[in-house]
């Protein structure tokens, strides 16, 4: 039981490049989330998905898109990366009151 997995672990992009962060969970959870973690700012919600086929914006959605491909997978896409998107990105899924987090993706945009 791997829980929540994220790929890649690290990524360096140049400004303007695009990429997709992958997230999958094997716990059969309906709800999934994408957060970014920045020093001094804690975790901020980018997008979330209450169930397969639905997605909604969180606190900081600008510059991102998401796809809930199926119940297991929830991907985050940066269409044109900017230095302000340098961050650590966490995916999470939820059962009941508890959110389960992935190991994170450290993204640097130069």
User: What b/e string do you get for 23-38 counting C-beta neighbours within 10 Å, with b at 16 or more?
Assistant: bbbeeebebbbbbbee
- Report the residue number, 17 or 106, with the smaller CB distance to other proteins: 106
For 58, 91, 93, the CA distances from 45, given in Å and listed in that order, are 5, 10, 13
Number of residues that bind other proteins (CB under 8 A): 23
- Report the residue number, 13 or 90, with the smaller CB distance to other proteins: 90
- Report the residue number, 41 or 82, with the smaller CB distance to other proteins: 41
Q: How far is the CB of 58 from other proteins (least distance, A)?
A: 7
Letters for 46-85 (x = contact with other proteins by CB under 8 A, - = none) are --x-x-------x---------------------------
Kindly write down the DSSP assignment for every residue of 11-63, as one continuous string.
EEE-TT--EEEEEEESS--SEEEEEEEETTTEEEEEEEESSTT--EE-S--TT
In the complex, which residues of this chain contact other proteins (CB under 8 A)?
A: 4, 31, 35, 40-45, 48, 50, 58, 90, 92, 94, 97-104
């Amino acid at each position: 039981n791997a829980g929540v997995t994220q790929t890649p672990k690290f990524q360096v992009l140049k400004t303007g490049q695009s990429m997709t962060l992958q997230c999958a969970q094997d716990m059969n959870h309906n709800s999934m989330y994408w957060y970014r973690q920045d020093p001094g700012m804690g975790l901020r919600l980018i997008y979330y998905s209450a169930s397969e086929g639905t997605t909604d914006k969180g606190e900081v959605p600008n510059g991102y898109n998401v796809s809930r491909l199926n119940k297991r997978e929830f991907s985050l896409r940066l269409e044109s990366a900017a230095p302000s998107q340098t961050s650590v990105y966490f995916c999470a899924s939820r059962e009941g009151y508890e959110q389960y987090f992935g190991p994170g993706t450290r993204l640097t945009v130069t």
